[in-house]
Amino acid sequence: MSLVFAQPSSDHTKVEEGLAFTPRFDSHGLVTAVVTDAEDGMLLMVAHMNAEALALTVETGIAHYYSRSRKALWKKGETSGNLQTVVELRTDCDQDAVWLRVKVAGHDATCHTGRRSCFYRSVDIADGAVTLTVRDDIRHFDPDTIYDKK
């Protein structure tokens, strides 16, 4: 990794209106990454990136994240084959989040459950109680076959 990000300016206007990419990593060294399908805009996943993951993503054009549960760099799709090629990368006003428009390889599935998107359930109110409803139950791959269960 050769890319090093400059420190954000303390001037809000520079961060919001400038053309310098100076990501604002949080106290854990992470920015939020929103991932949508470049073709139809479907929200596929939300993840996090540290500076290394962000630099690798920019340099290689393949999405890399930081897994908070595994505490490790995470090349998305390395096991499942569902790599994400970045079509466009954007950042938001205060530069603490990035948006990746991607093309998904392999099974065209992003969620580790085998579904296309991680957002397969809606939150609904029924009789005053909150419940979930499954909106997409199509499995594009079998997680038990793809992932090594240790």
Instruction: Tally Cβ neighbours within 10 Å of residue 128.
Output: 5
| DSSP β-bridge partners for residue 125 | 130
Q: How far is the CB of 123 from a second copy (least distance, A)?
A: 4
Say whether residue 103 binds a second copy (CB under 8 A): no
DSSP string, 62-114: B-EEEETTTTEEEETTTTTS--EEEEEEEE-TTSSEEEEEEEE-TTS--STTS
Nearest approach in angstroms of CB 118 to a second copy is 4
Q: Which of 79, 132, 142, 147 binds a second copy (CB under 8 A)?
A: 132
List of residues contacting a second copy (CB under 8 A): 3, 5, 16-21, 32, 34, 36, 40-43, 45-46, 58, 88-94, 97-99, 111-113, 115, 118-125, 130-135
